[in-house]
Chains A and B, each alone.
Chain A
């Protein structure tokens, strides 16, 4: 191969390599931006779900409010606090059958 041809081949290879590198860089850049948007969307969604979870926590706490439970238990279900002598205290971690009779 003549020196002229060899120079041309090297030059062409260099141009192609540079172009490829530029294209790859551009593609990576675009992918990064696309993923950035995707991550942003995912985080927004995550935050919305967390907010929804907190909202449900508040609602659950409202539903468990003693005043509400009492408002349902006493007039609607006819429930009442047991007489003191009917209460059997079961100790945590006691591991045994509580004294007294369970009804």
Chain B
């Protein structure tokens, strides 16, 4: 090769190398530029696209909070269970016959209809439910079938392990965990918790790669409710109410048990009832909470409140004689009757014998406005504010709309209506010394981590009575459960019981007036009378057998009280069972009696005549009142058997006798001599003030000013109020 051609060849080589280098540099530059573009400029967009491919949003449903009783026993609990679903398209692609798959699934799942399921599996949809919330055993059986396109999904299911217990209080939640009634409805937002959506990394098959989100599942749970209910007392209330409704062939019934000092509900029962695990299986009427949602004419159970109002207003005193007109009082063209013929009774006897005429007289002395204000102050005619849906307010019309006869009948609980809860709270006013409390059903609300986020406090709505008047009325109500009282069957062995019976004829909502043979019977009281621990209200609607408050509702009260006192640890005859203020350190009335010397000091009573060897010396109780005598005997380890009413005139065995502890001492009681008539001040139904001379005058003088028809809930005819011992 010549020198010229070699130079040309080398030059051409350099050119080619240069061009190639330039092209490669250009390519590398483009790649670098693209890399910078992808890495810096388009990074967020690309990251998002990548995440869209790999990440999935998962909606985490919270578990509904639990409901427990005051001792922590679970009453409503949510548990995750599995639901079975199917993808019909996948089923078809796998060559599985819908009918065959349905038959296999129905064979292991309770309550699944194979034909109906086969129709659903033959559809063109991509998702159908096979069975929701199956048991773990059923879920395992379905898994073992290994049918393509059939899968499980976890869902929460609400369980009520005690079945019917407190069903009306708890209410129930639907299949999607939404509260529909009771506390489940009222506290739905708190119980339900919050739903969260989180992003998780999943692989091609949909499996979660990096585990489920590191989310504390407690943060998703709803709050837990701790109720004031006591499972044991609730069970006793429901058992006894159910037995009474069944035995007496009553249409329905309700019971409320509460602590008179705090307003805490210890039990609330209603019959007929239902199983909240299967609410749809019971008729709507069985799901009604009659203790708060059904109003009825309370009848004689209102009498203590009328008497209390009159005592507080000063229109009568505890020993004021009231003329009962031989058990008959004419008001306008209506005649009020008593069950027996009474002439002159004192307020305590009016309550003991449940005299309508006597109570009407006291109501007249109190006057329309004050009677209305008294009953309103006790909470009648207004909702109590309990945390349950569907509460009824009851009916208590303004006195401007009352006819004269209304003023008389409302005094003994006809022509107005109330709920069982209202009655119990009103009686708690007398039991706790005169304060109307707000009912408490939820004691605490706890966050899922156990911290208390809300605590119920004792709330006083108003002071209704002076403490002294409440004590007076409580003392009077003890006689009701004495041997001659209308509520003798409510007496609890070893404890003093204060209470009142009620037997009211039912209003005819359709035809007006009152229905023959249809009664609402009730008993409301508290025990122990000297240091109340529980107020119990029992209402039975239309009992066919034994239709009287004392005979039908009294025994229910007694049996519930026995369980409640045992559960609360109230010992028989013990007087120092509850740490209280100085005013309650001594039984009602005992402080006054001790002060005037009629009663020995309490400590002396408690320890008198006690012998550690198991024998006692019978104390001298002649001349004492029934309650004082009973207390002295209990303190000596003896039992009392009362005959008659009034003060003790004789005892057997005699005072000073040495007897084994537990011996029953028979006390004979007799009424003290009648006092002379005392003037009663206060307007009569017509609005005039009369003395007791007027009160004892013939009934037509009062009735002459009464006019019009009774205007009770449905009333044209005058209601009859009756009591049976």
Contact = CB atoms under 8 A, between A and B. Distances in A.
A81 B209 contact: no
A45 B154 CA distance: 13
Contacts of A89: 569-571, 574, 577
A33 B79 contact: no
A65 to B, nearest CB: 5
Contacts of A61: 73-74, 77, 161-162
B379 to A, nearest CB: 31
B492 to A, nearest CB: 8
A9 to B, nearest CB: 25
A3 interface: no
A33 B577 CA distance: 66
Given A58-B161, A62-B162, A84-B562, A51 B80 contact: yes
A32 to B, nearest CB: 8
Contacts, number: 94
Contacts of A91: 569
B79 A55 contact: yes
Interface string A39-77: 110111001000110110111011011110010000000
Nearest to B662: A85
Interface string B170-190: 000000000000000000000
B163 interface: yes
A42 B208 CA distance: 12
A70 B163 CA distance: 15
Interface string B77-95: 1111100000000000000
Contact of A43 (B74, B211, B571, B662): B211
B566 A81 contact: yes
Interface string A5-27: 00000000000000000000000
B41 interface: no
B231 interface: yes
Nearest to B211: A39
A40 B162 contact: no
A29 B555 CA distance: 76
B194 interface: no
B235 A81 contact: no
Nearest to B661: A85
Interface residues of B, number: 40
Interface string B204-217: 00011111100000
Nearest to A51: B80
Given A81-B563, A85-B572, A40 B211 contact: yes
A37 B570 CA distance: 59
Contacts of B563: 81
A101 B161 CA distance: 37
B136 interface: yes
B493 interface: yes
Given A58-B74, A61-B74, A66-B165, A36 B569 contact: no
Given A54-B79, A57-B77, A89-B569, A36 B209 contact: yes
B149 interface: no
A87 interface: yes
Nearest to B493: A84
Contacts of A40: 207-212
A5 to B, nearest CB: 24
B572 A84 contact: yes
A87 B208 contact: no
Contacts of B77: 54, 57-58, 61
A25 B662 CA distance: 89
B209 A54 contact: no
Given A33-B209, A36-B209, A40-B211, A65 B162 contact: yes
B679 interface: no
Interface string B147-170: 000000010000101110100000
Given A37-B209, A57-B74, A89-B574, 17 more contacts: A32-B210, A36-B211, A40-B211, A44-B212, A47-B80, A54-B78, A58-B74, A59-B161, A62-B162, A64-B73, A66-B165, A66-B235, A67-B165, A67-B235, A81-B562, A83-B493, A84-B495
30 contacts: A36-B210, A37-B207, A37-B209, A40-B211, A40-B212, A42-B211, A51-B79, A52-B136, A54-B79, A55-B79, A58-B79, A59-B161, A61-B74, A61-B162, A64-B73, A65-B161, A65-B163, A66-B162, A66-B231, A67-B162, A67-B165, A67-B239, A70-B239, A81-B563, A81-B566, A83-B493, A84-B566, A84-B572, A85-B572, A85-B662
